[in-house]
Amino acid sequence: MPFHHIGDNYTDVVHSFIIRHPAKAIASLYSKSCVDNEKTGYSFFDPREAGFTAMGQILEHVEQLARGVEGAPPIVIIDADDLLEDPEGIMAAYCAAVGLPFEPSMLSWMPGPVKELESPWSGWTDDVINSSGITRRAKSSTLPPVDTLPREVQATVAEAMPVYEAMHARRLRAAPKKRKAIGTSFSVDDALFPKFKAAVHSAVARSASDATDFGKERRHIISLSKPIRAVLSADVLLSGPPTVVAA
């Protein structure tokens, strides 16, 4: 879409942010600046380049501009860890929030240079250029040990945390996934809870004591052993859908 000046019309603009835990983002910035810096050519760490303070100010600014404007769409915030844990779910939710159609093909691409990533700052976008898509990760990666980093880096992480936490609290979440039914009347989650299993066995016992009911109205009470094995193999042991990345 060609750029055009919007003046004071904020109803056609959806501002969106992608955030990442400061311990991860700033440790990476420090590494590319002072440790794994052969390709970047950097030899110093600049706290201002972490960007969290500036991002918080930008968020506050765009919110003030849209405040009181009827029809102004809400600001959309996604967290990088959420995206990696459920790429398809988060990307679908993002597209819905900004008014775009979602296509699974958004989550994969051909590796290689792209015009949008052309930059004089070599070494910073190599991983993205060589990537081929967003792959679902089972769990969030652990935080790096911040206390082993230089004091200036630790202070930058500490300064960034309030901004990150405030934005993380209002981040976009994927839509809840539909439950799969087991038998005729019970959900997957119900079948996996001991309290539910106890209720089933109790119901079976009551039915057995009533010869007129047993085998009629109570036929929907089922054995859980086979369905639970099916659920564990199909829903728990197998990883879910793949999915998206932003900088």
pLDDT in tens, 112-157: 888 877 777 778 888 888 888 988 876 667 888 889 999 999 999 9
Q: What residues in the chain have per-residue pLDDT under 50?
A: 1-4, 183-247
Phi, psi values for residue 135, rounded to 5°: -105, 135
Domain ranges in the chain are 16-168, 181-236
* Residue labelled with tokens 């700033």: 26
Tokens 């600049």, residue?
46
The pLDDT of residue 7: 62
Integer CA distances (angstroms), 126 to 101, 114, 117, 131, in order: 29, 11, 10, 9
Please give the radius of gyration of the chain, using alpha carbons only, rounded to the nearest integer: 25
Give the residues across from 37 on adjacent strands.
none
Give the whole-number percent of the chain exceeding pLDDT 70.
67
